[in-house]
């Protein structure tokens, strides 16, 4: 083993000791509701496929059709020869859907945040290093994008407007560009950002408001268009409720044009393949008419929240289809997942560093593919678990 590999091996031993070791589990996903592992079938409560679109016949058919018609790959980055005319059609649809002047398709949500932020925060272009106020529970990709820009974020307590305002106040005298970064739905908590107040704060201090709508796009807001229509820029993904892969930026024409000229993730990455563009295109056609599915998912999550709270579990401030059951200790989250798995239910323990220390949880994500019976089964196992834990 190379000396450097020994260091990595030690790290892994330490991770195991702390109950924080991660591994890639091999699964089959035969449909939007279940998972199979080693021949056993589980109801999947860990998927972000909130509308079940990943298996929707029209989404799958358009992905197949566009692969057949336009090939398996785009062949180059969008600025070389990969800017297939399909992009313009999709970007027009996204801009209209989101109510923004323009939209730009990116390779993934992670890649969008990791590469759009360095472009937006470029001190040579801005003329000064910007101040970036960021909710401390923002997704890792936003923190990584800021770090890639060489920015030390000014982090405000989660959804805490007075704290944000005090940070803005302190920085007010600095004549430099300012940004506020948040998510509309927090991915590990399922709670909502106070977007109207964030808009007011941004206006009060002349900040540019950027909102990540990864977990709102398709599933929340009128016709599933999300919640952040008052943001200056939205980043969202097609990998969750939209059922496939890829991401978008919704913004003004000038920001789009700037990103085409400055965003490394767009300039130096091969364009998304036609099959993925087909899936995105079909999802954009279907999602506005899925109010029934959205209401059902909200109902399932509400039922679950009410029932598990009655059993004494804590679900934080969740108000959406994402519902954490807090265990605080990582080992407890793992033990709960094991119990659920023994009963045919698949869930995932979310542990530090994904969440702050001592806030481990099991994160449940409800989808239109779940049934009322699935929720009952889940609650039954949680009841049994609580009984055994308290025995
Ligand atoms: C808030 C947030 N932003 C960005 C991402 C990354 O998106 P993608 O999975 O499309 O790379 C995620 C997904 O985990 C997310 O939860």
Domain residue spans of the chain: 19-51+290-390, 56-288
308-316 long-range contacts (CB < 8 A, ≥24 apart) are 308/379, 308/382, 311/379, 311/382, 311/383, 311/386, 312/386, 313/382, 313/386, 315/190, 316/189, 316/190, 316/191, 316/361
Q: Render pLDDT for 357-378 as a digit per residue (tens, 0 to 9).
A: 999 999 999 999 999 999 999 9
CA 245 to chain centre: 12
Residues found in the chain:
391
Read off the pTM: 0.96
Q: Which helix (H) or strand (E) holds 327?
A: strand 322-328
Query: What is the crossing angle of helices 57-70 and 274-286, to 10°?
Result: 150
Residue 389's pLDDT band (cuts 50, 70, 90): confident
Fold classification of 19-51+290-390 is: 3.90.1150
CA 269 to chain centre: 21
Give residue 109 CA to ligand 1 midpoint distance, Å. Answer: 5
| Six-digit token string for 7 | 């260091």
**Closest ligand 1 atom, CA of 183?**
1
Q: pLDDT, tens digit, for every residue of 290-303? A: 999 999 999 999 99
Query: What does the alpha-carbon distance between residue 94 and residue 362 come to, in Å, rounded to a whole number?
Result: 33
For the Cβ of 237 lying below 6 angstroms from any atom of ligand 1, the answer is yes
Measured in Å, residue 165 CA sits from the centre of ligand 1 at: 27
Mean pLDDT, the chain, rounded, equals 97
Give the pLDDT score at 390.
Answer: 81
Q: What percent of the chain has pLDDT over 90?
A: 98
Tokens for 352, please give them: 């530090």
Confidence of residue 19 (pLDDT cuts 50, 70, 90): confident
Triad 55, 238, 376: Cα angle to 5° = 55
Strand order in the sheet with 40-44: 34-37, 40-44, 345-346
Does residue 51 contact residue 219 with C-beta atoms inside 8 Å?
Answer: yes
Q: Which two tokens stand for residue 275?
A: 């099959």
- In CATH, what is the architecture of 56-288? 3-Layer(aba) Sandwich (3.40)
CA of 259 to the centre of ligand 1 (A): 19
Residue 94 has pLDDT above 90, yes or no: yes
What average pLDDT does range 39-56 have in this prediction?
Answer: 98
Look up residue 224 and give its DSSP letter: G
Percent of the chain residues topping a pLDDT of 70:
100
Q: Which atom of ligand 1 is nearest to the CA of 247?
A: 10
| Band of pLDDT at residue 391, cut at 50, 70 and 90 | confident
pLDDT of residue 20: 85
Gap between the Cα atoms of 210 and 213, Å rounded: 10
Q: How far apart are CA 141 and CA 378, in angstroms?
A: 31
CA separation for the pair 234, 226 (Å, rounded): 10
Q: What is the mean pLDDT of residues 10-17?
A: 96
The alpha carbon torsion through 198, 201, 207, 213 (nearest 10 deg) reads: 0
**Residues tagged active-site:** 48, 139, 183, 187, 212, 215, 240
- pLDDT value at 278 more than 90: yes
**Ligand 1 pocket: which of 187, 216, 235, 265 to mutate (most atoms within 8 A of CB):** 187
The packing angle between helices 253-262 and 109-120, to 10°, is 90
């Amino acid at each position: 083993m190379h000396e450097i590999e020994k260091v990595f091996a030690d790290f892994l031993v330490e991770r195991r000791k702390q109950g924080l070791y991660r591994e890639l589990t091999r699964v089959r996903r035969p449909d939007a509701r279940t998972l199979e592992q080693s021949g056993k079938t589980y109801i999947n409560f860990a998927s972000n496929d909130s509308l079940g679109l990943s298996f929707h016949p029209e989404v799958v058919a358009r992905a197949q059709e566009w692969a057949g018609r336009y090939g398996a790959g785009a062949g180059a980055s969008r600025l070389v020869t990969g800017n297939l005319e399909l992009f313009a059609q999709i970007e027009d649809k996204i801009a209209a859907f989101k109510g923004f002047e323009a939209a730009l398709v990116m390779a993934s949500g992670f890649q969008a945040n990791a590469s759009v932020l360095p472009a937006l925060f470029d001190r040579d272009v801005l003329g000064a290093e910007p101040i970036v106020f960021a909710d401390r529970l923002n997704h890792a990709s936003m923190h990584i994008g800021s770090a890639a820009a060489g920015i030390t974020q000014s982090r405000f307590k989660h959804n805490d407007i007075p704290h944000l305002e005090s940070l803005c106040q302190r920085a007010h005298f600095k004549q430099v560009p300012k940004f506020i970064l948040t998510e509309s739905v927090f991915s590990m908590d399922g709670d909502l950002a106070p977007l109207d107040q964030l808009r007011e704060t941004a206006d009060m201090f002349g900040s540019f408001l950027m909102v990540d709508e990864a977990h709102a796009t398709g599933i929340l807001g009128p016709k599933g268009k999300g919640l952040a229509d008052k943001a200056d820029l939205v980043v969202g993904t097609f990998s969750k409720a939209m059922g496939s892969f890829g991401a978008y930026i919704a913004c003004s024409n000038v920001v789009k044009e700037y990103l085409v000229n400055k965003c490394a993730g767009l300039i130096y990455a091969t364009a998304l393949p036609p099959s993925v563009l087909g899936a995105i295109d079909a999802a954009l056609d279907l999602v506005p008419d899925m109010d029934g599915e959205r209401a059902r998912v909200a109902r399932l999550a509400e039922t679950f929240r009410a029932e598990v709270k009655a059993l004494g579990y804590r679900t934080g401030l969740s108000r959406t289809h994402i519902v954490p059951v807090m265990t605080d200790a990582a080992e407890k989250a793992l033990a709960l997942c094991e119990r659920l798995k023994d009963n045919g239910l698949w869930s995932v323990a979310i542990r530090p560093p994904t969440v702050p220390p001592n806030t481990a949880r099991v994160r449940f994500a409800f989808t239109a593919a779940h049934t009322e019976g699935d929720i009952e089964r889940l609650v039954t196992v949680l009841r049994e678990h609580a009984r055994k834990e308290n025995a």
